[in-house]
Amino acid sequence: MASTSKESYRVELRAAARQLGDRCLYSAAKWAAELLVGIEPDAAAPSQPDTPSSSGAGPGGRLLHLHRSGGSSFRRRMRPGGGSEAGTPLGGVSYVSTPIPDDDAFDAGADKYLLAKTYFDCREYRRAAHVLRGHVGRKAVFLRCYALYMAGEKRKDEETIELEGSLGKSNVVNQELVALERELSTYRRTGAIDSFGLYLYGIVLRDKGCEGLARTVLVESVNSYPWNWCAWLEIQSLCTTSDILNNLNLKNHWMKDFFIASAHLELKMHEEALKRYERLMGVFRCSDYIQAQIATVQYSMRELDDADMIFEELLRTDPFRVDSMDIYSNLLYAKESLTALSFLAHRVFLTDKYRPESCCIIANYYSLKGQHEKSVLYFQRALKLNRKYLSAWTLMGHEYVELKNTPAAIDAYRRAVDINPRDYRAWYGLGQIYEMMGMPFYALYYFRKSSHLQPNDARLWIAMAQCYESDPLQMIEEAIKCYERAANSNDTEGIALHQLAKLHSMLGQSEEAAFYYKKDVERMEVEERQGQNFVEALLFLAKHCKSIGRYEEAEHYCTRLLDYTGPEKETAKSMLQGIKREQSGFPSMDIDHFAL
Amino acid sequence: MNVFAGVRSAAGAEQKDAGSAGGEALLELTPHRMAVCHLVQVFAPQQEGGPATPPFPFESVAHHNRLGLFLFSLTRSCEDFLEPPLEELLRQLKAVDDLVNGWLCEQLTTTLSGLISPDDLFNFFDKLRGVLTSPEGASVEDEFLDPNSQLGVYLRCCILAFNSMTFEGVCHLLSNLVAYCNSAETSYDLAEDEDFNSEMEMSDLMDADIGVRAGVFDKYGQGYATESHMGESSSSFIHAPISLHDFDEDNIFKADENPTCLRSRWQLEAYLNQQADILEKDPSSVPLNSFNATMTQLQTLAPELHRVQFLQHLNALSHDDYVSALDNLHRYFDYSAGQGLFSRSLSANQDIIVGKYESALLSLGSLHCYFGHPKKALEAFTEAVRVSQMNNDDSCLAYILGAISNLLSKIGISSTVGIIGSPYSLGNNSGLGTPLSIQQQLLVLLKRSLKRADMLKLTSLISFDHISLAKFDLKHVQRPLVSFGPNASTKLRTCPADVCKSLRLSSHVLSDFGTGDLSTSHDNGSFSTSWLRNLSTASSSWCSSSAKPGKQIVNDFDNFHFNAQPSPIPTSVLQLAGSAYLMRATAWEHYGSAPMVRMNALVYTTCFADAASSSELSLAYVKLIQQLVVFKGYSVAFGALKIAEEKFPSSTNPHIHLLKMQLLHDRALHRGHLRVAQQICDEFGVLSSSVSGVDIELKTEASLRHARTLLAAKQFSQAAVVANSLFSTCYKYNMQVENASVLLLLAEIHKKSDNAVLGLPYALASQSFCKSFNLDLLEASATLTLAELWLALGSSHAKRALSLVYQSLPMILGHGGLELRARAHIVLAKCYLTDREYSVSEDPRAVLDPLNQATEDLQVLEYHDMAAEAYYLKAMAYNHLGKEGEREEAAARFKEHVTAVENPHDEEASLAY
């Protein structure tokens, strides 16, 4: 059962990779082929040499050394979930089997098609289209149109460079769009179009700005031919909200799982995405793609160590990989591991330095080095290569902040937000800038936006709380609410608890303050972090307990304070004496007090 | 480079500057510019032939000059966002070309379409260079193209641009040129694909361009004044192209709606300003989504013009879309605040610089103020104060102060809450140990704002502050901020003279603009705005004169200024001046002079209607209708209301809506339709926001009306409870003027509940409130109530009551409405009747005359309750006189009114009008 289903996946993917490659849809073909190799080998087959579980002794040992938490490498941890249900259809739902379409029979134009494809492979698009003029086979029509589209895209890119510098006229358009749309829409009306044609029609429509229609057409395309990953990606880019995603009329093919998972990741529904990917791992055990996606999810969930491990593993098996390596570099940046980042930057530089990802990685490296001008330069290069490269805009904004160039930073962030309004980091950046400029009230709008998009991120709540707390605003109650949110959503730095305690004590609510100070002390004890905050908390607790008559607790805190040097020690000493006095010397006072 | 933010703004600005100064980063070559170059070449005189004879294709010097003028206007508009297609250029050229049978057009098209290889382009520009080099032996006076003239510079720029072009650029130009030439032939086939090629829009483009030329020619017409025939021909030239097209109203309308016919930055800004005006004047006429679509289209055409986003913000604001208003506001300022994008349109002494962070906060504050978030608005304003102090932006600071005082005066903030708590902002803690009350803070703010505005010569702000001060003086007693010792005598009265003085000073803004430095101060696109306006009226007047002779021009303001200079006074100034008149009307309303209210409201509606925003204009209408109802009764008022509703649908205009409800409520009360009255009362309650302190006036009115309804239903204790709570609210928010009427109402309640003794203090208190706030008419009314209360205490007080009535009569008869007059008459009659020394038979007229008058007035008002009383008194009087016939008649009328009150029928009719 298990092997047959796996075998059927293989058959489908094999055919798909061939067909897609035949139509010059390279990246989709690449994706399919990668996935094909990623299917777990059958039990009967001899074990692959590169499965990590079998080679744990080598690099796995290094991982062990690096990460104290991991007793096993990540792949082994994945296994129990996937292994048992590898045979059953994913997620327990039955899939609609989509017949693999036969390719057009080799007709008279087959030779011409071959020629056109070779031209296309050599990036001589117009020539390819020219060869196929007059051919009516669906395959030939598709390749001709696709070649025209690519020619237009190429020209567009060139023009963007050529015309650079004239303000306000940067919106060069693909000149072929109009003709292509006209032709493809006629084909669609008459039904003389296959799913590849629909895919092309979809992207033409998207480029023209008809997003709704584009979505419908693309959905049609993937419903009839689900193995074209590029089509799925286009749909994903058109699904900006989860409502749109849920309203798509998609056939239940196993490719849909990949799509949904990826879309969830994009829409920041991390848990769902992770779950789906882990299920998919059951079949596609060795897929690098899924590994990279899981790592991305984990990075977004700020599980940096786990993600780091996966990325390292990926690079080990596939050293010339550039895809998703920008995320890895972000991760390394967050972990501040300079050496690893420089290593990565060098590697991608040697592999392909003119990829936006590469530029982004190098920029990250410079940023971590503190050379922000150079970093900006590389981000600019990345953006030149891909103007819609969202994270580069945001990161460039960060760099401008470092350079104290606030208008430029605002502009960069704004562009990021306009490209994707769900980019919480850019909103956060905007808020930060305005806060820096002494406009906390104005900044609140941005922080509110970002925390709305990422409600479980303590940093955003803390930023907002700090705004409320700032001198000009002094809206303590609102600040407390924000800190509470932050404390409830895994605040790793522990700012929230301390601030909560402080604010409550400022407002004279000593019960609450004591509650939070106690929690804070517990947290610091667990993390073995002892600093000024710790002393402060102890001091407050001691005073508080003393004032409400819980002398034993007060004594406990005071004795702990004695371990520290500084004025607090003296205070603790005198307090201890005071407690002793009150406990032994004048017990009647209390009674009197109560009698009154 | 425009991708990169950091360099972009600076580089962009430099580039623009350099472009206009003739530096190396020049204009970009386009096919249209090449066409113009070619025409210049044709225009430029050839070497052979003396100066007396015009060069080859031209018939006369005038003809030659006409082409020159045309080219001049074309080169002047070379920095446009969008260039006209060839076809349009040809169409314009025809006007010049007619005399030579289209030789020019034909030559232009053949030349341009003859350019098919890059080498042709090189040759083309080589030839252009020949035009500029002056031939040997030419004297200075000869007519050669001066390289330093407008056309010469233009030509040189183009040549330079070509020379510095890379080969890719040349290829690009060539392919554009081919498309340009083809567009003239096949534009109609592509109509669905390209936005600007449809015939309709083509004529719009045409339309707009004529305007430009008209302007240019007007200027030049003066220069050529000596050549009289030149002037004539040029004026006919202006109108000639218009007649080529058959315009209709729709088309002109479209020119307004469709921004794609605008090309230059100026025109675009003018268009945006115009749209902003429309948004302010009549927001309901602008549909939310289609306007946004238009703006988005503009945005794609001119991505660097961020003002579009501000308009979207205004649009959302006027449609009460909080979220999108907020989003657009932030987007606009994110893009523009750091850059000062409109640097070219900013003259040195412009009032406020668009696009600074403090302006962002100012706008944010106004937004919150508009949506009724006083706390947020205050926070924003405080921050704005801080930021503008940080950036030394005095003018913005003055505006912010003005905005804060506006907020404080608009929104009730109880004096117990320290609102402007932060010590940074307003210096309210300076010197004095005790914090000032809200009103005092407001006064301080206003004065500071005024002082600052005066110093910085911000005329409109000065005017605004004067109006605000007048508003303050109207409602508040000015106390001295510091009173030392007993010798500081304080006069606890408002000062009407101050109000009048402030208002008079505020309308000085008009004269300031009349004499002030016109040329420099409003070089902000308003010329283009009025130009646009004149354009539409020009076309429509042309239409009406030829096609529809009966058609009247809607806006006589524009008509008046057509073809003349645009009005020297910007709309905003006119608005402020108008507001002063409206404020005057309000002031007189308070002081109780009906004719003055009418007069000022009429002045406003007649003189300032064009500039007024819909809200203010409707307010003036409301005032006029309120006067009508008081003096002429309901039927007339409802008739007027219907007319007003045609102009401002009550569903969208809050003022009119409120007025409608007020009228309906009053009438229901008078007719005795209590259920309807209660229903309207409930509706009133729903209108106001639930946030405390917001919509405070509306809330006050709602509970006032609630109390009155209860009173009419004879539920005295409940009415008293409502009135008492209203009094405490008013007291809390320091609304003393309202307190006067609330106290009067309380007195009324006690009077009706036969508790005259309890009513007396209220009436007296109300009277003294009225005195200190100079509410003369209300005072008269209070005096009347007082008289009634005395009368209720027994016949022994009739004399005193009578003297009180006589005391109030002059005011009431002079300025009072129907109801008040009738009441006075009835009380007068009652005084006589209760007076023991008076007997009807001796002097029947003393009683009957006022009663007759009262019944007449009440008939108009349909006030059954009071009418019944009047008839009752009348019947009694006739009874005493022994006139039985009259007595029976009066008694019958009495019964009629009483049954009407007791058994109200067709209550539903009370809701209709």
Using a CB–CB cutoff of 8 Å, tell me whether A384 touches chain B. Answer: yes
Residue B327 Cα, gap to closest chain A Cα (Å):
9
More confident residue, A57 or B848: B848
Please report how many Cα atoms fall inside a 13 Å half-sphere around the Cα of residue B370, on the Cβ side.
17
Closest CA to B408 of B383, B384, B443: B443
- State the amino acid at position B732 in one-letter form: K
Asked if pLDDT for residue B702 goes beyond 60, the answer is yes
A336 close to A370: Cβ distance less than 8 angstroms: no
Per-chain mean pLDDT for chain B: 71
Cα separation, B863 vs B873, whole angstroms: 16
Cβ–Cβ gap A442/B380 under 8 Å: yes
How would you class B235 by CB atoms within 10 Å of its CB: exposed for 0-12, middle for 13-18, buried for 19 or more? middle
CA distances from B193 to A142, A177, A203, A280, B205 (A): 23, 10, 18, 45, 18
Give the tens place of pLDDT for each residue, A409-455: 888 898 888 888 888 889 999 999 999 888 889 999 999 999 988 88
A14 or B248, higher pLDDT: A14
Q: Are B334 and A472 inside 8 Å of each other by CB?
A: no
d(CA B405, CA B443): 8
What pLDDT does residue A576 have?
A: 83
The model's pLDDT over B221-244, given as tens digits with 9 standing for 90+, comes to 333 333 333 333 333 333 333 322
Give the residue, B521 or A457, on which the prediction is more confident. A457
Instruction: Report CB contact under 8 Å: A414, B334.
Output: yes
More confident residue, A10 or B517: A10
B541 pLDDT more than 50: no
From A171, A383, A439, residue closest to B361, measured CB to CB: A439
Q: Is B138 helix (H, G, I), strand (E, B) or coil?
A: coil
pLDDT, mean of residues B258-279: 64
CB-based contacts of B751-759 (< 8 A; 24+ apart in sequence) = B751/B785, B751/B788, B751/B789, B751/B792, B752/B711, B752/B714, B752/B716, B753/B716, B753/B720, B754/B792, B756/B789, B756/B790, B756/B792, B756/B793, B757/B793, B759/B785, B759/B789
Whether residue B421 and residue A474 make contact (CB cut-off 8 A), yes or no, is yes
pLDDT at B901: 79
Across the interface, of A441, A445, A473, the residue whose CB is closest to B326 is: A445
In the predicted model, is pLDDT for residue B96 greater than 80? Answer: no
- Contact list in B for residue A413 (CB cut-off 8 A) is 334
CB B600 within 8 A of CB B562: no
User: A84 pLDDT exceeds 60?
Assistant: no
Least confidently predicted of A134-138, B61-65, B91-95, B416-420: B416-420
* A236-248: average pLDDT: 86
Chain B residues touching residue A168 (CB < 8 angstroms) = 2, 81, 302-304
Residue B257 has pLDDT above 80, yes or no: no
**B690 three-state secondary structure:** coil
Instruction: Encode B718-751: b = buried (16+ Cβ within 10 Å), e = exposed.
Output: bbbebbeebbebbeebbbbbbbbbbbbbbbbbbb
Residue B800 burial (10 A CB sphere; 0-12, 13-18, 19+)? middle
Out of B166, B303, B364, name the one closest to residue A442 (CB): B364
Give the confidence band of B302 by pLDDT, cuts at 50, 70, 90: low
Out of A376, A384, A410, closest to residue B334 by CB? A410
In whole angstroms, give the CA distance from residue B497 to residue B321: 42
* A288-292, B235-239, B325-329, B710-714: range with lowest mean pLDDT: B235-239
Report how far residue B842's alpha carbon sits from residue B833's, in angstroms, rounded to the nearest whole number: 12
Is the pLDDT score of B721 beyond 90?
A: yes
For residue A489, give the amino acid letter: S
**pLDDT score at B138:** 52
The residue type at A282: G
Answer whether residue A331 shows pLDDT above 80: yes
Mutate to test the interface with B, among A386, A427, A433, A439 (most CBs of B within 10 A): A439
Q: How far is CA A186 from CA A142, A197, B186, B190, in A?
A: 13, 11, 22, 17
Q: Looking at residues B644-653, what average pLDDT do you find?
A: 81
Instruction: Mutation target for B interface from A164, A167, A389, A436: give the one with most B CBs within 10 A.
Output: A167
- The answer to whether the CB of B153 falls within 8 A of the CB of B56 is no
CA angle B343, B345, B349 (to 5 degrees): 90
Q: Residues near A18 by Cβ (< 8 Å), separated by ≥ 6?
A: A29
At A459-475, the pLDDT tens digits run 889 999 999 988 888 88
Long-range contact list for A435-438, CB < 8 A, 24+ apart?
A: A435/A463, A435/A466, A435/A467, A435/A470, A436/A401, A436/A406, A437/A406, A437/B357, A437/B387, A438/A472, A438/B386, A438/B387, A438/B390
Complex ipTM over 0.95: no
Are B698 and B735 spatial neighbours (Cβ–Cβ below 8 Å)? no
Q: Above 80 in pLDDT, residue B538?
A: no
Question: What single DSSP character describes residue A69?
Answer: S
Instruction: Compute the distance between CA of residue A52 and CA of residue B745 in angstroms, rounded to an integer.
Output: 90
DSSP assignment of B1-63: -TT-HHHHHHHHHHHHHHHHHT-SS-PPP-HHHHHHHHHHHHHSPPSSS-SSS--TT-SSHHH
Kindly state the DSSP code that residue A47 receives in the 8-state scheme: P
B380 → closest Cβ in A418, A441, A474: A441
CB-based contact A162 B168, cutoff 8 Å? yes
Which pLDDT score, from 0 to 100, does residue A366 have?
92
Look up the pTM and report it.
Answer: 0.67
Q: How many CB atoms lie within 10 A of CB B117?
A: 10
With CB atoms and an 8 Å threshold, state whether B5 touches A442: no
CB-based contact A380 B380, cutoff 8 Å = no
How much of chain B, in percent, has pLDDT values that exceed 90? 7
Q: What is the pLDDT of residue A328?
A: 93
* A221 within 8 A of A231, measured Cβ to Cβ: yes
Question: Tokens 């009368």 — which residue?
Answer: B791
Residues 6+ apart with CB under 8 A from B3: A164, A170, A380, A383, A384, A387
> Measured between alpha carbons, how far is residue B553 from residues B134, B208, B226 in Å?
53, 20, 35
| Listed range (A274-278, B420-424, B725-729, B791-795) with the worst mean pLDDT | B420-424
- A474 and B424 within 8 Å at the Cβ level: the answer is no
For residue B385, is pLDDT > 50? yes
Cα separation, B600 vs A563, whole angstroms: 82
Nearest Cβ partner of B304 from A162, A168, A445?
Answer: A168
Distance CA B511, CA A152 (A): 62
- Phi/psi of residue A488, nearest 5 degrees: -80, -15
Of B208 and B489, which is predicted with more confidence? Answer: B489
User: What would the mean pLDDT of A568-581 be, rounded to a whole number?
Assistant: 82
- Residues of chain A with C-beta less than 8 angstroms from the C-beta of B2: 164-168, 170
The residue of chain B nearest to residue A397, with distances taken between CA atoms, is: B5
Four-point Cα dihedral B833, B839, B842, B847, nearest 10:
0
